[in-house]
Amino acid sequence: MNARALFTAYITIVLREIRRFTRIWPQTLLPPAVTMTLYFIIFGNLIGSRIGEMGGFDYMSFIVPGLIMMAVITSSYANVVSSFFSMKFQRSVEELLVSPVPNWIILAGYVTGGMARGLGIGVIVTLLSLAFTRLQIHNLPMVVVTVFLTSALFAVGGFINALLATKFDDVSIVPTFVLTPLTYLGGVFYSIDLLPDFWQGVSMANPILYMVNGFRFGILGVSDVNPFVSLGMILVFIAVLSFIALKLLARGKGIRH
Amino acid sequence: MTNALEIRGLTKVYGSGFEALKGIDLHVAQGDFFALLGPNGAGKSTTLGIVCSLVTKTSGKVSVFGYDIDTHLSDAKLHLGVVPQEFNFNQFEKVFDIVTIQAGYYGIPLKKAAVSAEKYLKKLGLWDKRNTPARMLSGGMKRRLMIARALVHEPKLLILDEPTAGVDIELRRSMWSFLEEMNRQGTTIILTTHYLEEAEALCRNIAIIDHGRIVRNTSKRELLQQLSLETFLLDTETALENAPQLDGFSCRLDAEGVLEVDVHKGQALNEVFMQLEHKGIKVVSMRTKANRLEELFIRMVEQNAPGAEAIAEGTA
């Protein structure tokens, strides 16, 4: 396939993914908007007013970047894992396997589709947050780069999960038992300065902490970790997970007999 | 001329240890209409699955129009169209989208894909259903949709794995005409089927696979020439109480009182009628008892069954 044909194949996958999640928007776009609005009201307004300042900002301003990032992470991951696994389940993944689309285009197409949903949710949650706080942007390039890379990273993660999953339970295990705890413990609702030294050290092993803080630095200008270390970490994770995903695809793991 | 499909020494051992293919050699010439026959679990779908990249081979060589799937997989796939045994499209997508998306995977831009999709959806009688979600289609329509999808990129080799399974007779006949037309226009076709009548009607060359080995690979004509005996069913004007004695022919009455006559290769059917007429028996209609290819197929598969030799020798 020449470059133009490859691009057509890539765009075909991306558009199909976008069409899929917009067609079922009550399942894909609405729930995170509702959940995040509740977070803003309960944690930001009701409880946040009693907490006072966090990291030099009122509590609502502090949690907004983390909540946006949380929505982006879960949506990017969920889109790819559910879409690709349902293709496996329905066997429509065979449409791709018999075609000449190279594996890296398949991965890129799905990751872009996941990013489209993740970033779309990010925009929705950001707009909703404006009803509760005045959002300032400290470093726009940092905001954009961090959110794009984080979305890409979790979309790749979702792809690997979908390849390895053999039943529907496997699709929800990682989001429930890995992603959600890591996100909640990743500094979305608090600064790790509040933790004892030991738990601060443990928190530093949580990759989501770097993403949340990198994004928070872009918006508020404060971070528990060096934002450039965050970017470096995200890039390394993307490289490692993409390598694993391509290896699994080449071996036909979960998709070829 | 390069073969449309060339398979050499193909083996497949599944993770469970099951040896599905035990070194298959097969070639299909360009423009051929080829049938791969075999009982369930013989290795037909595994063979075609390897050709289509849905199954990974253990060893051996496969090339499609000269493109080795180990070294030129993308080129090989560009020449292939696949109609699988089971429905494998997104049931929630619309008919038109399923076909154009497939074209997109082959790098065909949407405008061109739309033209091709319209052509094949019209040919297969699905154009009126183009905006219908696939799950709303009948079984026959779903089968036709898979054919349209497989053809949208104009492949030179079309592989159909039991394309008419569960399809009513009328639709099956119309699908046969369509496939014959595709073949006449130059598309090489390989099909597997359980309807041996289908293989007999459509195909020029036939391979029979059993227990992971090709037990026969020849032309249909040559295969049918091996048939030394055919049984005819004769409906007589008046019901017979006993089967008549016919010189040189074995005959009997079946459970419904229909006269069955075995005619060996070289024997004239006229002789049967002459002898019956001489005995005052009038025949009002006649048909063959079973599909000819089916008889041969069963015979070959039985011969190839494990222990068949021992049974034949009376030692098992």
Q: How many CB atoms lie within 10 A of CB B313?
A: 8
Task: For residues B85 and B197, state if they share a domain.
Answer: yes
Task: For residues B106 and B32, state if they share a domain.
Answer: yes
What is the rounded CA–CA span in Å between residue B96 and residue B98? 6
Q: What is the mean pLDDT of residues B93-100?
A: 95
CB contact under 8 A, B102 and A95: yes
Show the tokens assigned to B257.
């009182």
Average pLDDT score, chain A: 90
Q: Which of A20, A95, A249, A253 to mutate to test the interface with B (most CBs of B within 10 A)?
A: A95
- Going by C-alpha positions, the residue among A55, A212, A226, A221 that lies closest to residue A138 is A221
Among the listed ranges A123-127, A220-224, B162-166, B299-303, which one has the minimum average pLDDT value?
A: B299-303
**Which chain A residues are closer than 8 Å to B97 by Cβ?**
16, 19
- pLDDT above 90: residue B60: yes
Show the tokens assigned to B272.
């049967």
A vs B: CB pairs below 8 A: 84
Domain boundary among B190, B224, B258: B224
Task: For residues B50 and B181, state if they share a domain.
Answer: yes
Question: Given this model, what pLDDT does residue B295 score?
Answer: 64
Hey, CA dihedral for B237, B241, B243, B246, is it positive or negative? negative
List Cβ neighbours of B279 (8 Å cut-off, separation of 6 or more).
B244
Q: How far is CA B145 from the centre of its chain?
A: 19
CB contact under 8 A, B107 and A5: yes
- What percentage of chain A exceeds 90 in pLDDT? 51
- Going by C-alpha positions, the residue among B87, B89, B1, B5 that lies closest to residue B47 is B5
- pLDDT above 80: residue A139: yes
Question: Given this model, what pLDDT does residue B67 score?
Answer: 94
CB-based contact, A142 to chain B, within 8 Å: no
In the sheet that holds B188-192, the strands lie side by side as B80-83, B157-161, B188-192, B33-37, B205-210, B213-219
Task: For residues B205 and B248, state if they share a domain.
Answer: no
Q: What is the band of B312 on the pLDDT scale with cuts at 50, 70, 90? A: very low
Task: For residues B164 and B269, state if they share a domain.
Answer: no
Q: Cβ distance B34 to B190 under 8 Å?
A: yes
Q: Which of A87, A92, A166, A251 to mutate to test the interface with B (most CBs of B within 10 A)?
A: A92
pLDDT, tens digit, 9 for 90 and up, residues A163-193: 999 988 898 888 888 888 888 888 888 888 8
pLDDT, tens digit, 9 for 90 and up, residues B186-233: 999 999 887 777 888 889 898 988 889 998 888 887 777 666 677 888
Task: For residues B279 and B164, state if they share a domain.
Answer: no
B255 inside domain: yes
pTM score: 0.82
* Residue scoring higher pLDDT (A90 or B300): A90
CB contact under 8 A, B49 and A257: yes
Q: Specify burial of residue B80 (Cβ count, 10 A radius: 0-12, 13-18, 19+).
A: buried
Task: For residues B218 and B230, state if they share a domain.
Answer: no
Chain A residue with Cα closest to B14: A257
Task: For residues B231 and B215, state if they share a domain.
Answer: no
CB contact under 8 A, A257 and B54: yes
ipTM rounded to 2 decimals: 0.85
Domain boundary among B224, B239, B271: B224
Q: How far is CA B174 from the centre of its chain?
A: 15
CB contact under 8 A, B101 and A95: yes
B303 inside domain: no
Task: Give the one of B55, B74, B108 whose C-beta lies nearest to A102's C-beta.
Answer: B74
Q: What's the Cα-to-Cα distance from A81 to each of A150, A157, A165, A257, B77, rounded to whole Å?
A: 16, 8, 9, 20, 27
CATH of the domain at B275: 3.30.70.1560
CB-based contact, A102 to chain B, within 8 Å: yes
B302 inside domain: no
**Which chain A residues are closer than 8 Å to B52 by Cβ?**
97-98
Task: For residues B233 and B172, state if they share a domain.
Answer: no
Q: Which of B79, B95, B105, B142 to mutate to test the interface with A (most CBs of A within 10 A)?
A: B105
B165 inside domain: yes
Question: Given this model, what pLDDT does residue B294 score?
Answer: 65
**Which chain A residues are closer than 8 Å to B84 by Cβ?**
91, 94
Which domain does B171 fall in, by range? 5-224
Task: For residues B141 and B285, state if they share a domain.
Answer: no
CB contact under 8 A, B91 and A90: yes
Q: What is the mean pLDDT of residues A117-125?
A: 95
Question: Given this model, what pLDDT does residue B176 score?
Answer: 87
| DSSP-derived pairing of the beta strands B259-264 and B229-236 | antiparallel
Question: Given this model, what pLDDT does residue B308 score?
Answer: 44
Question: Given this model, what pLDDT does residue A136 score?
Answer: 82
Task: For residues B171 and B286, state if they share a domain.
Answer: no
User: How far does the CA of residue A231 sit from the closest CA of chain B (Å)?
Assistant: 33
Question: Given this model, what pLDDT does residue B310 score?
Answer: 38
CB-based contact, A3 to chain B, within 8 Å: no
Helices (H), B63-123: 73-78, 95-105, 110-123
CATH of the domain at B141: 3.40.50.300
Question: Given this model, what pLDDT does residue B307 score?
Answer: 47
CB contact under 8 A, B73 and A90: no
CB-based contact, A16 to chain B, within 8 Å: yes
pLDDT, tens digit, 9 for 90 and up, residues B148-195: 999 999 999 999 988 887 777 778 888 888 899 999 999 999 998 877
Chain A residue with Cα closest to B149: A95
B243 inside domain: yes
**Which chain A residues are closer than 8 Å to B54 by Cβ?**
94, 97-98, 256-257
Task: For residues B48 and B180, state if they share a domain.
Answer: yes
All structural domains of chain A with their residue ranges = 3-251
CB contact under 8 A, B104 and A11: yes
pLDDT, tens digit, 9 for 90 and up, residues B97-139: 999 999 999 999 999 999 999 999 999 889 999 999 999 998 8
B250 inside domain: yes
B240 inside domain: yes
Task: Give the one of A2, A87, A98 whose C-beta lies nearest to B77's C-beta.
Answer: A98
B56 inside domain: yes
CB contact under 8 A, A257 and B104: no
Q: What is the mean pLDDT of residues A27-50?
A: 87
Q: What is the mean pLDDT of residues A59-75?
A: 89
Total count of domains within chain B:
2
pLDDT, tens digit, 9 for 90 and up, residues A74-114: 999 999 999 999 999 989 999 999 999 999 999 999 999 99
Domain boundary among B209, B224, B239: B224
